[in-house]
Structure 1
């Protein structure tokens, strides 16, 4: 991992903790499992001010290109739950893919337990499309 631990901006961290707390009641097993894994990773995350956030770290509204070890490539945007839209490749932070990538950076390889088994995801690009400060919650 490029920065040692997950890297999160303070306001995004507070928002993420809030939605994790209320999402603990999710009925979908895979969503619950992904949220629990993210919750564990948040305990050792580096929390920084917005001005200290590296440009290549995945955060809310980041467009992320990933390559899997099973051979697929995909570009998605990580969004807050109400903005998810799979037709536009907008993936909620509360999905296994969203939780797997959030806080990692370009060049990192993430090993995550997806519904169909563990996969290695190589983060090949990160483009910032606006932070939590620019979206309405």
Structure 2
């Protein structure tokens, strides 16, 4: 992931920082992803939920992604680890793709490392963003 400015709501920042603090205290295989998430949050532009642009991937956003290698679409909802359920398309913010897509905007291409190299997805469309729907505390 390259250095970029992401938008995040105050509420999401508080919950993500709490998640980082709680998870850091345990022996976790997610430690590497926690560090990436911490890095992303360290340069985030924090805004009130009412002011987040409606084309930004926030927590609990449902997003249509396009794999840049094969043009296949994937619909995912970015959630906290306790709500993750890949069979229902709910991906944890601590999963590689979850950490990578947080804060990206419609039309952006993001990448993350996989064992075979790098994966690239384009944010084709945000199907649901809590803040745009007036759901400020999901």
Q: Which residue of 2 aligns with 1:46?
A: 45
127 and 50 in structure 1: CA distance in 2 versus 1, 3 angstrom threshold: same
Q: Which residue of 1 aligns with 2:128?
A: 128
The alignment partner of 1:18 has SS state of: helix
Deviates most, 125-134 or 50-59:
125-134
Q: Aligned pair count? A: 130
The alignment partner of 2:65 has SS state of: strand
How far the C-alpha of 1:127 sits from its partner, in A, is: 2.3
**CA distance in structure 1 between the partners assigned to 2:100 and 2:49 by the alignment:** 21
Q: Which residue of 2 aligns with 1:92?
A: 92
Contact map agreement 1:78 1:91 (CA 8 A) in 2? yes
How far the C-alpha of 1:129 sits from its partner, in A, is: 4.8
55 and 91 in structure 1: CA distance in 2 versus 1, 3 angstrom threshold: same
Q: Which residue of 1 aligns with 2:67?
A: 68
39 and 107 in structure 1: CA distance in 2 versus 1, 3 angstrom threshold: same
TM-score by length of structure 1 reads 0.83
Contact map agreement 2:77 2:91 (CA 8 A) in 1? yes
Contact map agreement 2:11 2:137 (CA 8 A) in 1? no
How far the C-alpha of 1:26 sits from its partner, in A, is: 4.8
Compute the RMSD of aligned alpha carbons: 1.9
Which blocks of at least 5 consecutive residues in structure 2 are unaligned?
none
TM-score by length of structure 2 reads 0.83
**CA distance in structure 1 between the partners assigned to 2:20 and 2:116 by the alignment:** 23
How far the C-alpha of 1:115 sits from its partner, in A, is: 4.3
